[in-house]
Amino acid sequence: MKSALQIARAAYQPKLPEALKGPVKVQEGKATQSVADRKEIKELFPNTYGMPLIEFVKGTKKKVPAFNVSVILSGGQAPGGHNVISGLFDGIKNLNRSNRLFGFLMGPSGLIEHNYIELTSKVIDDYRNTGGFDMIGSGRTKLETIDQFESGLKIIRELGIKAIVIIGGDDSNTNACVLAEYYAAQKYGVQVIGCPKTIDGDLKNAMIETSFGFDTATKTYAEVIGNIQRDCNSARKYWHFIKLMGRSASHIALECALQVQPNICLISEEIQKKDMTLDDVVTYIAQIVADRAADGNNFGTVLVPEGLIEFIPAVERLIAELNDFLAKNGKEFAEVAPAKQREYIISKLSKENAEIYASLPEEVARQLSLDRDPHGNVQVSLIETEKLLSNMVGKKLAAWKKEGKYVGKFAALHHFFGYEGRCATPSNFDSDYCYSLGYTAAQLIANGKTGYMASVRNLTAPATDWVAGGIPITAMMNMERRNGKMKPVIQKAFVELNGAPFKKFASLREKWAKETCYVYPGPIQYFGPTEVCDQPTKTLQLENKNAFKK
């Protein structure tokens, strides 16, 4: 059974850029270079390096021979994935009614293990404008070995597939590029096209203005944070510490801050740049709590980006030493009685790191020493940074109270928002953007391109004025150390401290800290006036400020 909103949403017709509404022709731009490490990237990708930027402009109708396409959803869910697939489906059907689309199931492993379904109009119609990735499922299997590529080729040949579209974040698109290069080098004639997905917002550059899902996810979080702020401003007795997803980069926290005007928002990239210690961060928060208390305001909100702890240089060093130590002495450590493990670790670390470790609350110290991912690293997203911070702020305030430097009450509540936003019903922006990305991917395929990521730009303009095209994935690459080896990867976009969104936030944060300037954005609206329903994120509006003038 479907809700009334689901039924109404199913009938929503996503908007397309004008150029994609009819036949197109390819307009080639300048040849590209990788963002860094040009020599190494060129050597690693001889067949897909240096290709030009592409823009689609209106063309004349041509007969397109029928072809089959496949699609993979890769990595974390992001609102709008189903619309990329429906845009791709409509795009290829529009080129030739006989074209067929296959979906590999549960991420890249579906390609390797030959698990797939045909995506017919019956399947597609059920998922138009819906959130989630449940149409074909997603997974995090890395596509990186020749055996995997060759195994994929078997099913590609069996189904007569011309191209694979990989919808993913920076790592998945890096894999798409490696796969495109391999198939091109082997002259298999199989094209690979990427699509920029991730709620984290860290896959962006001049041609990819935003990754899809960021818009809906941040609006969903902003709604709930706004509700908390209203509760907070009504009861006036709690400090809410709210951790937000987003992995390493702080784009989600920054966007939410711009939307809701909290009392405090931490930006990991700034903390790293200023080389702040954990104590500096705690003192910063505690001072704002104390100043508000002096004004009689024993309440407030603090936004904490998920990856914060990795960006505090001292904690980063502690984690590095712990990783090395536990990698070598994991067996001995496992034999230590749980009650003695903390003491044991403290006795083994260098003085500086032992002090930091000893200062951490029991639970966080335990998480740091126990939870490792398959590569032996601490899974920082599992660390309850919001609790760590509020606990330490509470201790500092208690000490200040004794010294007579603070009079007030401090009661903290904790929240973590991440999964709540990843499968939300896509906003109009994400519905339109994703559908256009899918349509663009269809044109890249029809025009014989491989190793390209679908790009739709000029996103703060009305959708009809959006610019569709492609960017060679190699142009976004650089070399980075991964698991002890230098690897070609898409460069992650962190919050730029010189960028307009951060500057705007920095110019207002002192006022937001002292006064109570909360904004309550309310839920995403799907039907209604355009200024309510169709606004892109504040980040995009600030970054594209001069991009579109009517």
User: Which residues of this chain interact with ligand FBP, rule CB under 6 A?
Assistant: 75-76, 78, 169, 198-200, 245-247, 306, 381, 422
CA–CA distances in Å: residue 56 to residues 14, 194, 450, 467, 550: 19, 17, 15, 8, 21
Tokens (6 digits) for 532? 């309510």
Distance CA 303, CA 286 (A): 14
Distance CA 155, CA 100 (A): 15
Of the pair 138, 516, the CB lying nearest ligand FBP is at 138
CB of 139 to ligand FBP, least distance (A): 10
CB of 244 to ligand FBP, least distance (A): 9
Distance CA 478, CA 493 (A): 12
Cα dihedral 178, 184, 185, 186 in deg (nearest 10)? 110
Known catalytic membership, residue 231: no
**Residue owning tokens 């699509």:** 195
Of the pair 246, 300, the CB lying nearest ligand FBP is at 246
Of the pair 175, 427, the CB lying nearest ligand FBP is at 175
| b/e sequence 283-322, b meaning 16+ C-beta within 10 Å | bebbbbbbebbeeebbbbbbbbbbbbbbbbebbeebbebb
Of the pair 84, 156, the CB lying nearest ligand FBP is at 84
Distance CA 116, CA 133 (A): 14
CA 408 centroid distance within chain: 38
Quick one: residue 117, left, alpha or beta (phi over 0 = left, psi -120 to 50 = alpha)? beta
Of the pair 78, 442, the CB lying nearest ligand FBP is at 78
CB of 117 to ligand FBP, least distance (A): 22
549 SS3 class: coil
Among 173, 169, 156, 14, CA closest to 84: 14
Catalytic residue among 90, 170, 171, 200: 200
266 SS3 class: coil
Distance CA 214, CA 252 (A): 8
Give residue 425's identity as a one-letter amino acid code: T
Of the pair 124, 199, the CB lying nearest ligand FBP is at 199
Q: Kindly list the catalytic residues.
A: 200
